[in-house]
Amino acid sequence: MAALIAALITGFTTGGLSCMAVQGGLLASSLAQLIEKDLLGKRGGRDQWNIGLPIFLFLISKLAAYTILGGLLGGLGKLFQLDPLSQAVLQFIIAFFIIGNALRMLNVHPLFRYFTFEPPAFITRLIRKKTRQAASFTTPIMLGAMTVLIPCGVTQTMMAAAIATGDVLSGAALMFAFTLGASPVFFLLSYFATKLGALTEKYFTRIAAVVLIVFGLLAVNSGLNLLGSRYSLSRLAENAVSAVEIRHQGQASATPGTDLVLNVVDRGYRPKRLHAPAGVPLTLTLVTKEVHSCSRAFLIPALDYGVILLATGEEKVQIPPQEPGTILPFTCSMGMYSGEIIFDL
């Protein structure tokens, strides 16, 4: 659920602007012109509703097309998503792709243009041909569906995230949330396309690029978490915070002969840091209660252990004796949520 809300917010804040910059210039402007020239012209006046309806149809069609695409990408991810190492590699590839795309949007060097998908000439020709056809309500519907062929940088990022979900429904839901979030801004910008088009392209693309760099760093962070690295950005931040916190805040300890208990919640793991005795086998009990986020896909990379937890229930993990000072990181399967067990008792 957290990922869907993040996708929705991403769509609302940057997706609409970025999509407008890439797709809006031609499609929405052409659409608006078609509407004004062909539809309204025939009816003899400017009717606000008539301008809005074809744009609305365009966006509904776009929403449906991207949801289907998200499902297909999620299914594709399932084929390749097998173990934490391959997931980490995928995250690094996504990060490379995202940051390259952001640098392209910032116009750092023409080389970065190769980070974007350029549709073959016959497809661009087909799209343009469609925009020139006599206007009807099927035109915006067709054009909306065709936007999957020219995704913007932020959308491409979200498509990569849909692959990373490794699930048809999750991929579809992610793209649905993102496209839905982007729709209001896209609608408004399309509505005022002729006035705002150039401004949108010039300034908002840069904002979207900066946000993409943040996403790129988050993907690097996820990759490092999946590798069980102590040097992921989130762990470094946690360590910095914990250095000034009272030691027992947000932490839990186990004494020899007792279980460690970790509460798995929608937004991660509580506590994030567990202290355990070294040199003895331990049982880690994972407790879930109505959990519906990716935190249910629990991994301990160093032990090569992974489990999909029930939404509500308990799962016991046997941890073999560890050397004193060992730190055992754990994470969700997407590397979004993480924590660690420290063997220092």
Could you give the string, one character per residue 147-186, with x where binding to other proteins holds by CB under 8 A and - elsewhere? ---x-x----------------------------------
Place of tokens 């970065």: 112
Nearer to other proteins, 30 or 229 (CB): 30
Nearer to other proteins, 127 or 294 (CB): 127
Taking CB under 8 A as the rule, does residue 108 contact other proteins? no
- Where does this chain touch other proteins (CB under 8 A) — which range of 104-112, 213-221, 277-285, 335-343? 104-112
Total residues at interface with other proteins (CB under 8 A): 26
Taking CB under 8 A as the rule, does residue 126 contact other proteins? no
- Residue 338 · residue 330 · CB < 8 Å: yes
- Where does this chain touch other proteins (CB under 8 A) — which range of 82-90, 121-129, 159-167, 250-258? 121-129
Taking CB under 8 A as the rule, does residue 271 contact other proteins? no
**Binder of other proteins out of 50, 124, 251, 326 (CB under 8 A):** 124
- Residue 225 · residue 235 · CB < 8 Å: yes
| Residue 245, φ and ψ in degrees, nearest 5 | -90, 160
Q: CB of residue 26 vs other proteins: minimum separation in angstroms?
A: 5
- The Cα–Cα gap between 73 and 325 comes to 42
The token pair that represents 251 in the structure block:
């932490």
Taking CB under 8 A as the rule, does residue 195 contact other proteins? no
Taking CB under 8 A as the rule, does residue 101 contact other proteins? no
Nearer to other proteins, 55 or 336 (CB): 55
Its sign, for the CA torsion 132, 137, 142, 144, is: positive
Taking CB under 8 A as the rule, does residue 119 contact other proteins? yes
Q: CB of residue 59 vs other proteins: minimum separation in angstroms?
A: 17
Q: CB of residue 252 vs other proteins: minimum separation in angstroms?
A: 50
Taking CB under 8 A as the rule, does residue 128 contact other proteins? yes
- Residues 20-39 touching other proteins, rule: CB under 8 A, are 21-23, 25-27
Taking CB under 8 A as the rule, does residue 107 contact other proteins? yes
| Residue 274, φ and ψ in degrees, nearest 5 | -115, 145
**Binder of other proteins out of 69, 94, 95, 127 (CB under 8 A):** 127
Nearer to other proteins, 116 or 326 (CB): 116
The token pair that represents 91 in the structure block:
């995250």
The token pair that represents 120 in the structure block:
């073959």
Taking CB under 8 A as the rule, does residue 198 contact other proteins? yes
Residues interacting with other proteins, by CB under 8 A? 21-23, 25-27, 105, 107, 110, 113-114, 116-119, 121, 124-125, 127-128, 132, 150, 152, 198, 201, 205
